[in-house]
A and B are shown apart, each in its own frame.
Chain A
Amino acid sequence: MHQDYSITHLKQLESEAIYILRETAAQFEKPVLLFSGGKDSIVMAHLAKKAFYPARLPFPLMHVDTGHNFPETIAYRDHFIEELGAELVIASVQEAIDAGKVKEETGPHASRNGLQTVALLDGLEAGNYDAALGGGRRDEEKARAKERFFSHRDAFGQWDPKNQRPELWNIFNGRKHHGEHFRVFPLSNWTEMDIWQYIKLEAIDLPNLYFSHVRPCFERNGVVMAVSDFIELMPEEALSVKDMRVRFRTIGDATCTGAALSDAADLDAIIDEVAVARQTERGTRADDKRSETAMEDRKKEGYF
């Protein structure tokens, strides 16, 4: 009898991610899952639930909170964590500013995006976390394309991209010296399309920011931005504010996350839209446009 023992690409990616999540729990003393409320970290938390079912997650979730959130993100986060029955730790950028550890940027282009690194590293140190699970994908950005599943960070939280450990088969070496930690990326091999297809397959609930809705927006450097309390508008931008039908392809800090004009109101429409998209999802991220190697530079310092 011939039987076809094969599984679909989504099931293979799922199995790989679950393997990485279990390996993280087993190899480290105190892992933490970085949860931003964006779709990738939602998928990662969903996979973590599967990896340890029927037990609860053997690690807490950490939200690095810039204080500049879309209110929808926070409402979703709290509901999600409650459903999951997991513990939430907050690493606050506002607190880092109040404590005088970092200086806030000022002016219309001010962003707290870069300040997240300090809050994140402080949060990891305060909790003695030795592994931080992140939702980064290699297809997202060219510096991330070189990232390992198990990515070593030195005692200063820094990444040395030229000197990374080789990863073969499914053997992951998480050994480290005291004070060092790892960033772990279970979704390394997923693309944006895989994420959306998986969300559809698994019927995962998402924040409504991802779906088309009407809100006041303005344009900056060719990117549509949502009006919020956290962004100072230039005079001509203030004049251009109008209601637009938009959705977000990524959800980050409100000051640097651009919106996309879209009518896609459900998952099928989004998948169709992603299939014909001619811009990467990070094409709407102002933080990546600061220089050609903006992501690598931030990552070396300890960014996500």
Chain B
Amino acid sequence: MSETNTAAGYLDMDLLRFTTAGSVDDGKSTLIGRLLYDSKAIFEDQLEAVEKSSKSRGDEHINLALLTDGLRSEREQGITIDVAYRYFATPKRKFIIADTPGHTQYTRNMVTGASTANLAILLVDARKGIIEQTCRHAFIANLLRIQHVVVCINKMDLVEWDESTYNAIVDDFKRFSSRLDNIVDITFIPASALLGDNIVEESRNMPWYKGSTLLYHLETVYIGGDENHIDARLPIQWVIRPHSDKWHDFRGFAGRIAGGVFKPGDKVKVLPSGFESTVKAIHTMEGKLQEAFAPMSIALTLEDEIDVSRGDMLVKLNNPPEPKQSIEAMICWFSADKQLVGRGKYILRHTEKEVKALIQEVRYKVNINTLHKIEDDLVFTHNDIGRITIHTSAPLMADSYRRNRITGSFVLIDEQTNETVAAGMII
């Protein structure tokens, strides 16, 4: 039994969110199945049910996709339609996997899964090397600013555990990835998910590899530097007013810190009004805090009675974001029914604020397989990625996505259907 899961072991575990993308035949299910099974996140009754369905569908092996492809249409068609979230834990960490299908038509799912991930696992078949799909996944990881990438070179058993094959793939990927400047850390691991080499246990077949196993890497990779702890940002979600005798004048400005550190005594400014004040206290139900930082949910009080409401942002005086009404952004188009229309109007949702948005200019689309710009076809359909300019009805307190994933991101909503039609990253 892993000690994680004992009563004592849980207090210093942290959380790592990662994505995997790929199709059935590159061994992704086998890899995830091994991580889940070895960490005991799959239960007997789940395994029995999956075994039974696999058999009745005529599958040769147990099809682990059936564990989370729970929807009737997914099971009938044998495809994953949606992002599947899976969970497991070891003594060091809890893991959330956002598992997405790898084909071009699922780009929007990959983007969704990547938006909250700290790390991406790119699976490469050692026999095939770097293919279009690998580049696509790497491009999306970079676009969504996943800072840690593991290139898992799988099926090493099928290339006789050959070191030079591995090295050639590593070189190939490095050449390609030099253009992906958001990725700060790339780790290469030769593995066989089917036989278990370098997944949880070290491989005996590849003594030439001196690095860590996949699981050890996932458990120990340092992600503490991923959040922005420099630019203090608190988007206000809700104002707490108890209306009770004990808390008569209490006005707590509640939200989840999107960046930086707040302490009592800090000079702060409310945007967009520009009023200034000082942090009086940081409140939680357990008592007051001496400091708070991303991604904590807190409520704070100010020394002065100033007007603050939902959609405002509290920042420190030294480095406030620049209010912008003209936004340059990369977007991924999600809607299957509607296309992005030049001069089209949408609702733009950024942090806790909604404004109207007008598409001012469509600059280019990206062919995500070749990474070339497309400038002669500027109509965005389902799964297209590209760069646009937006004009908003009110200023946004935005940072660039590179600096801050929360204050640098937005979605576009169709006014008629209320559907989320695009996700955007501010440049």
Indicate if A7 sits at the interface (CB-CB under 8 A): yes
Indicate if B127 sits at the interface (CB-CB under 8 A): no
B115 near A169 with CB under 8 A, answer yes
Measured between alpha carbons, how far is A283 from B224 in the docked complex, in Å?
38
B5 near A146 with CB under 8 A, answer no
Indicate if B352 sits at the interface (CB-CB under 8 A): yes
Indicate if A73 sits at the interface (CB-CB under 8 A): no
Please pick, from B6, B108, B240, the residue contacting A272 in the complex, using a CB distance under 8 A.
Answer: B6
A15 near B13 with CB under 8 A, answer no
Q: How many cross-chain pairs have Cβ atoms below 8 Å apart between A and B? A: 208
In the complex formed, the residue of A with least CB distance to B69 is A142
B6 near A293 with CB under 8 A, answer no
Residues of A within 8 A of B121 (CB): none
Indicate if A93 sits at the interface (CB-CB under 8 A): no
Chain B 214-229 near chain A by CB (<8 Å), digits 1 or 0? 0000000000100101
Residues of A within 8 A of B2 (CB): 275
B43 near A54 with CB under 8 A, answer no
Measured between alpha carbons, how far is A219 from B66 in the docked complex, in Å?
29
Indicate if B59 sits at the interface (CB-CB under 8 A): no
Chain A 137-176 near chain B by CB (<8 Å), digits 1 or 0? 0110111111000000000000001101111111101011
Residues of B within 8 A of A18 (CB): 256, 297
Measured between alpha carbons, how far is A180 from B1 in the docked complex, in Å?
47
Indicate if A9 sits at the interface (CB-CB under 8 A): yes
Given A5-B229, A277-B43: A168 and B5 interface contact (C-beta under 8 Å): no
Indicate if B275 sits at the interface (CB-CB under 8 A): no
**Distance of B404 from chain A, by nearest CB (Å):** 10
Of the listed stretches B89-97, B132-140, B150-158, B367-375, name the one at the interface; the rest are far from the partner chain. Answer: B89-97
Chain A 174-206 near chain B by CB (<8 Å), digits 1 or 0? 011100000000001101011001001100000
B347 near A8 with CB under 8 A, answer no
**Distance of B220 from chain A, by nearest CB (Å):** 14
Indicate if A56 sits at the interface (CB-CB under 8 A): yes
Residues of A within 8 A of B398 (CB): none
Indicate if A10 sits at the interface (CB-CB under 8 A): yes
Measured between alpha carbons, how far is A167 from B73 in the docked complex, in Å?
21
A15 near B256 with CB under 8 A, answer yes
Residues of B within 8 A of A194 (CB): 94
A168 near B111 with CB under 8 A, answer yes
Task: Give the total of A residues in contact with B, Cβ under 8 Å.
Answer: 74
Please pick, from A5, A51, A293, the residue contacting B227 in the complex, using a CB distance under 8 A.
Answer: A5
B238 near A145 with CB under 8 A, answer no
A274 near B85 with CB under 8 A, answer no
Indicate if A280 sits at the interface (CB-CB under 8 A): yes
Measured between alpha carbons, how far is A162 from B89 in the docked complex, in Å?
29
Chain B 87-108 near chain A by CB (<8 Å), digits 1 or 0? 1010001101000000000001
In the complex formed, the residue of B with least CB distance to A280 is B43
**Distance of B16 from chain A, by nearest CB (Å):** 9
Of the listed stretches B164-172, B178-186, B189-197, B407-415, name the one at the interface; the rest are far from the partner chain. Answer: B407-415
A166 near B334 with CB under 8 A, answer yes
Indicate if A49 sits at the interface (CB-CB under 8 A): yes
Of the listed stretches B26-34, B202-210, B244-252, B265-273, name the one at the interface; the rest are far from the partner chain. Answer: B244-252
Measured between alpha carbons, how far is A280 from B41 in the docked complex, in Å?
10
Please pick, from A25, A138, A283, the residue contacting B43 in the complex, using a CB distance under 8 A.
Answer: A283
Residues of A within 8 A of B409 (CB): 168-169, 171
Indicate if A22 sits at the interface (CB-CB under 8 A): yes
Chain B 1-26 near chain A by CB (<8 Å), digits 1 or 0? 11011110011111100000000000
**Distance of A146 from chain B, by nearest CB (Å):** 5
Given A25-B238, A138-B85, A171-B409: A271 and B7 interface contact (C-beta under 8 Å): yes
Interface residue ranges, A against B (CB under 8 Å): 4-16, 18-19, 22-23, 25-26, 49-56, 138-139, 141-146, 161-162, 164-171, 173, 175-177, 188-189, 191, 193-194, 197, 200-201, 267-268, 271-272, 274-280, 283, 292-293, 295-297
Top-10 shortest CB links A-B: A142-B70, A275-B5, A168-B115, A9-B15, A18-B297, A55-B242, A175-B418, A268-B7, A9-B94, A53-B285
Taking A51-B254, A276-B1 as given, write out 9 further A-B residue pairs in contact, using a Cβ cutoff of 8 Å, ordered by the A residue number. A7-B296, A8-B12, A8-B13, A53-B240, A54-B252, A54-B283, A166-B423, A168-B111, A175-B413
